A and B are shown apart, each in its own frame.
Chain A
């Protein structure tokens, strides 16, 4: 899936002269955690998170303090340079960026201009779509030998039964790298005939199997 298919196009932004107080208000008002800072050409010159803003706010223990700090320009606390992605990047790449850089938001730019934003939440939403758990389905897990051509052989069994597949995931089989687990979500309430077919074709169906319980 491409970034442009999952990004939010409506982005709340600030300019570098805006105050920290404005940032604080926007974070509360829109229930967001990141604000990109842009210049007049819409170039992303920095980003602030709710944590940056909170760190720069007066302590809640100082009751009578005059919050002068909040009048400082946002440029004094923003992070820069900013990691950005392109609309044609892949969702997998965004996941790697989040994981490796330990961040939770990237602005999306085209020709260096801000066109969208992707956060952790968009990422998780996409993940739920990929697993297919948001539509009616039953789940079947098949243990297969890790070799070329196995997936079409397995999915053919579903095709013959005319059951629609809503998602396919392939997991490593931890105890033995010679095997993989294919997780298929199918749109039927009665997976028994399909499971029977799979078993007849010689596949091992792990369907809800728990340690100590025979399937």
Chain B
């Protein structure tokens, strides 16, 4: 199946949502969330020649009504006031605004409105049939809550986007979150909804923010059985990550039979990422979109919207990781070999670290992990637990 599909889905009709204004979403100079990543990824793709003007979609702003699909009105008002410098510190804290993670900044409402709008533009392009897949690297802010900013996220474009799909098209949505942090905001927004299935693979919350995303968080009421979590061990490496991600994704897609797939492609599970403790290399970023691509064609007639997300090594990791999503989306295969000279020359000057010269990471990129076998075994147990309901159902029905 995989091989057949791979041959037939080469060169898909795809859209790339982009605006130079994505970088207006900036908390402060030394804040780890930096949308320069999107510029770097876009230019890397342009330099390779696979991203052209004809692919580009100019994003619209989300309306306040659309934001209210997933956010409370008082919260939206508070964000607006904060962006005009009119919100007191105390008022802000009630909404998680003005903390170290999500400080206030001038124009924060408009900047966040654009990120949500860009995800809606991606959704429109796919669901109106203009393209089969769309990529919006400006989105994927999965920690935003109904009435609270958190974890670098103000408005939750994924949650707003999925509500928008539900209202406008009544499609069944499968949300797949491969950010190293749990996709909590989106999970809680659809926790009791059986038409939205959320699947998040992330580093265990024992140490890492936000702490949730346990394997037993399976949904509530009618939504029970439509929330999947794989909280993998710190120091998990490529093979184990890819193995359980792919197994889970295939089984969940087969069980849920989605009409459209939305992926959140945070790029912070890499061993170089400063905020997390997973130990993957570029291999997972080739594999993650490949599985999503194949399953989108198998179940959804190709309908796939991919979003950005976390990713805090903005020089060495994120541009390559995100460029691979586009490559798989549009060419069917990831890029290999050397990075384009032109891009390296331009950005090495700006980068505080030495940029990698190839798409893949070298085999000995990090020190071997001494407890690899144990970690792999734990992750396999986890996979079994996460898919227990599906397996029970299969046994019961057969």
Contact = CB atoms under 8 A, between A and B. Distances in A.
Given A188-B99, A190-B275, A213-B369, A136 B235 contact: no
Contacts of B253: none
A210 interface: yes
A135 B211 CA distance: 7
Interface stretch (A47-55, A95-103, A106-114, A161-169): A161-169
A105 B235 CA distance: 41
Interface stretch (B17-25, B54-62, B107-115, B202-210): B202-210
A14 B152 CA distance: 54
A207 interface: yes
Interface in A160-202: 161-164, 185, 187-193
Contact of B210 (A136, A211, A212): A136
B143 interface: yes
B99 A207 contact: no
Nearest to A191: B209
Contacts of A193: 100
A72 B349 CA distance: 88
Contact of B371 (A133, A139, A212): A212
A84 interface: no
A138 interface: yes
A136 B151 contact: yes
Interface in B138-197: 143, 150-152, 181, 184
A162 B99 CA distance: 8
Given A136-B150, A208-B234, A208-B277, A190 B211 contact: no
B370 interface: yes
Interface in A117-172: 133, 135-140, 161-164
B100 A208 contact: no
B101 A188 contact: yes
A190 B275 CA distance: 7
Interface of A: 133, 135-140, 161-164, 185, 187-193, 207-208, 210-213
Given A138-B209, A189-B209, A208-B208, 4 more contacts: A136-B210, A139-B211, A207-B207, A213-B370
13 contacts: A136-B151, A138-B207, A138-B208, A139-B208, A164-B99, A188-B99, A189-B150, A189-B151, A189-B152, A190-B101, A190-B152, A191-B209, A212-B371
The 6 closest A-B pairs by CB, nearest first: A136-B210, A212-B370, A189-B151, A189-B209, A138-B209, A208-B207
